[in-house]
Structure 1
Amino acid sequence: MNKIELLAPAGDLEKLKIAVDYGADAVYFGGEMFSLRAGAGNLSIEEIEEGVAYAHSKGVRCHMAMNIFAHNEDIEPLRAYLAKIRHIPVDAFIVSDPGVITLIKEAMPEAELHLSTQANMTNYVTAQFWHAQGVKRLVMARELTIDEIRKIRESIPEEMELESFIHGAMCISYSGRCLLSNFMIDRDANRGQCAHPCRWKYKLVEEQRPGEYYPVEEDDRGTYILNSKDLCMLEHLPELIEAGVSSAKIEGRMKSVFYVATVVSAYRKAIDAYYADPEHFEMDPAWYEDMTKASHREFTTGFYFNKPTNEDQNYQTSAYTRDYSFIGMVKSYDAGTGIAVVEQRNKMVIGDEIEVFGPGRDFFSQTLDFMQDEEGNDIESAPHPQQIVQIRMKEPVAENFILRKRKGQADC
């Protein structure tokens, strides 16, 4: 049985490597131009070379997003950019625009093409059309149900693959085709610059009464009328697999290293558990609990089982739930002394109760009772960004293990 691919976001080179280390089968990233996440760190050409080499050394595929809807002024720069990267063995390009597809085919005739969710692929006739254009994989529009996905799978050539989102932010606009950001602050979402106005709080002004603001409310609890909950399909992976989905995609190129490691790790465990015993798969509550330690909104299953209702919106707040802080990442470990060299990411102090986790294993807890600076001097706290410290570990760790702590602990 071919396992479903776990496809993880890589907003920059560090996140790419973390996604690989924590169990992704494939990663997707953007270059410095031409993808729909201009606010992500993205990768320079040199970083793409390094990232692809790193992923391939671990048997992980690399998909490069070029899914903008190009304007006239984008064409020649894109053609020149493709000439600069054609030597890099990227496994697939994620595309939306037929013109971009044409340019990629000109530069790299053998390139594998994946149709972005931005292209709004919602039926099997359209799927057949894209197959005729040389597209290998279709990223499902997020407005499709599992039954619709199954029908598409049954109606397309066997070699064509389907990819569906399983986790992350849901766009309130149809498959991300949104003009709000462009209209309101001249930042084009379809060229990678979305300002997320769907997360803003709105009030109503009547034309003849300037300055008089009326709340826009579903009820008296809130006014975030466009604010969707986040997608989470951790419990429903069997339904997607059995519908014929080949790749399970996590949204989040703008998210943190901590988020990538935590979410990829949870889905890796779930996918492996399913294939170990498909008939008796049940979601382990520990996977879900661990996953929610990364920042998240409330969860929904989106359109997969029914059309969303008011229960799939959050009218109260657009803020994330952040119960844990990412406080450090292990750079090296001495098994003889039990001392780890850690790069600080948020303040930690002696006495903190911390959790430590890494690829392929559950977390362990310990009290932070020993910490030194780089010179070996005892210190009580590590308040400086990316400060290098030495910490005694209760259990063995390795490079890229992550330290976190529950928020609300005293900083002294």
Structure 2
Amino acid sequence: MQKIELLAPAGDMEKLKTAVRYGADAVYFGGEVFSLRAGAGNLTVDEMKDAMEFLHTHGAKGYLTINIYPHNEDILPLQEYIQQIRDIPIDAFLVSDPGVMQLVKDGIPNAEIHLSTQANTTNYLSANFWVSQGVKRIVAAREMSLKEIREMREHLPEDIEIEAFLHGAMCISYSGRCLLSNYMVGRDANRGQCTHPCRWKYHLMEEKRPGEYFPIEEDDRGSYIMNSRDLCMLDCLPDMINAGVTSLKIEGRMKSAYYVATVVSAYRAALDSYMKDPENYEFKQEWYDELCKASHREFTHGFFYQKPSNRDQNYLTSDYVREYSFIGVVLGVDEATGETIVQQRNKFCVGDEIEIMSPGEPSYTEEVPSMKDEDGNAIESAPHPKQEVRIPFRKVPAKYSILRKRK
């Protein structure tokens, strides 16, 4: 069977390394400019060099997103940017604008081009047009069904790949092409500055009655009329693979390292199980339970089986479900004492029951028996951001393990 790629988001270097350690085959990341996630940490040019060295050392690939729709004022800076990164061994470039595509091809002649979902490719004629322009991978628009993706696959050359989102936030606008943020707060979603007004709370106000707000629905909570549920295809991996998708993409460059680790590990377990024995594959509830320990909204299958209906929206709240708190990451072991060195991320205390998640291993529970600070003083809690503490766990966790606590 053809290798199926698990592709993870990398908003910064920590998330990039976390994604690979927890099972991603490849990551996509943005630079400090020209990416549609300007609010993510993103990578400097020097960090990109380090990132690609790390990825290739670990047998993974890295794709750079340059998927904005530029205006004239962006062209010269973009040309200069491409010159700065041309010698970094980036595996592919995600672009959506034909002008940007040409700039990348001119500046980096051997560059592999992947067509971003922002290009709104929803049919095989468009896909083959882009192939004729040198594109090696088509990222399907989120509005495509599995039936449509399967038909696209049948009309594409065999060496052309299809990538599709299988998990993460859905956009109320067509494949992310939205002017709502621009209109309401002057920040252009198509140039990486979306403020996500589709998640805001709205009421109805009559023109001659300013200040009198009426709920759009008959309750007292207002209405989240554009608030989509999150996409989750964990229970449908075989359907995506059989439709011809060879790169399974997780959304979330703005999400935390904990989110990346949790989601990637769940999909890694499911994908490995399927690839090992497709004929006898069975979905396991434990994968889904693990996935839900990351913050999420209620889930939907999006457009893959049918056009979304009101069941795919959440009209009551745009809040995430957050049942667990990311409290720390394991940095290593104090050889002199055998204590685990933990970098704190959220407050936890002696006596707390916590879960420990390690790359490639089932999570397990331990109680925090005691703690010491960096100077060896006994402490009852770890309240300071990123402080290092030492904990004598019964079972020493692997380096880079993640600690979490049920809220």
Using the size of structure 1 for normalisation, the TM-score is 0.97
Contact 1:198 1:227 in 2 (8 A): yes
Shift of 1:266: 0.3
> In structure 2, how many angstroms separate the alpha carbons of the residues matched to 1:85 and 1:312?
41
> In structure 2, how many angstroms separate the alpha carbons of the residues matched to 1:271 and 1:232?
14
Q: Which residue of 2 aligns with 1:410?
A: none
Shift of 1:3: 2.2
> In structure 2, how many angstroms separate the alpha carbons of the residues matched to 1:53 and 1:79?
24
Q: Which residue of 2 aligns with 1:315?
A: 315
Structure 1 segments, 4+ long, off by >6 Å, are 218-221
Contact 2:215 2:221 in 1 (8 A): no
Contact 1:124 1:152 in 2 (8 A): yes
Shift of 1:217: 2.0
Q: How does 1:113-128 map to 2 (within 5 A)?
A: 113-128=113-128
> In structure 1, how many angstroms separate the alpha carbons of the residues matched to 2:328 and 2:108?
41
Contact 2:357 2:364 in 1 (8 A): yes
Residue 252 (1) aligns with residue 260 (2): no
Q: Which residue of 2 aligns with 1:30?
A: 30
- The alignment-based identity, stated in percent, is 63
Q: Note the aligned Cα RMSD (angstroms).
A: 1.2
Count of residues in correspondence between the two structures: 407
Q: Which residue of 2 aligns with 1:129?
A: 129
Q: Which residue of 1 aligns with 2:205?
A: 205
Q: How does 1:66-81 map to 2 (within 5 A)?
A: 66-81=66-81
Q: 1:260 to 1:218 in 2, by over 3 A?
A: farther
Q: Which residue of 1 aligns with 2:267?
A: 267
Shift of 1:22: 0.6
Q: Which residue of 1 aligns with 2:147?
A: 147
Shift of 1:218: 7.4
Contact 1:222 1:317 in 2 (8 A): no
Residue 40 (1) aligns with residue 40 (2): yes
Contact 1:227 1:315 in 2 (8 A): yes
> In structure 1, how many angstroms separate the alpha carbons of the residues matched to 2:283 and 2:335?
34
> In structure 1, how many angstroms separate the alpha carbons of the residues matched to 2:343 and 2:295?
20
Instruction: Give SS of 1:136's match.
Output: strand
> In structure 1, how many angstroms separate the alpha carbons of the residues matched to 2:80 and 2:192?
19
Q: Which residue of 2 aligns with 1:110?
A: 110
Instruction: Give SS of 2:342's match.
Output: strand
Residue 358 (1) aligns with residue 368 (2): no
Letter in 2 for 1:145: S
> Is there any run of 5+ residues in structure 2 with no aligned partner, and where?
none
Q: 1:219 to 1:281 in 2, by over 3 A?
A: farther
Q: 1:316 to 1:135 in 2, by over 3 A?
A: same
Which is worse superposed, 279-288 or 346-355?
279-288
> In structure 2, how many angstroms separate the alpha carbons of the residues matched to 1:157 and 1:384?
55
Shift of 1:220: 6.8
Contact 2:94 2:116 in 1 (8 A): yes
Shift of 1:279: 1.2
Letter in 2 for 1:120: N
Shift of 1:364: 1.1
> In structure 2, how many angstroms separate the alpha carbons of the residues matched to 1:201 and 1:364?
39
Q: How does 1:49-60 map to 2 (within 5 A)?
A: 49-60=49-60
> In structure 2, how many angstroms separate the alpha carbons of the residues matched to 1:135 and 1:360?
34
> In structure 1, how many angstroms separate the alpha carbons of the residues matched to 2:270 and 2:150?
21
> In structure 1, how many angstroms separate the alpha carbons of the residues matched to 2:320 and 2:344?
22
Q: Which residue of 1 aligns with 2:324?
A: 324
Shift of 1:353: 0.3
Q: Which residue of 2 aligns with 1:393?
A: 393
> In structure 2, how many angstroms separate the alpha carbons of the residues matched to 1:27 and 1:67?
15
Contact 2:69 2:191 in 1 (8 A): yes
Contact 1:39 1:193 in 2 (8 A): yes
Q: 1:218 to 1:287 in 2, by over 3 A?
A: farther
> Is there any run of 5+ residues in structure 1 with no aligned partner, and where?
408-412
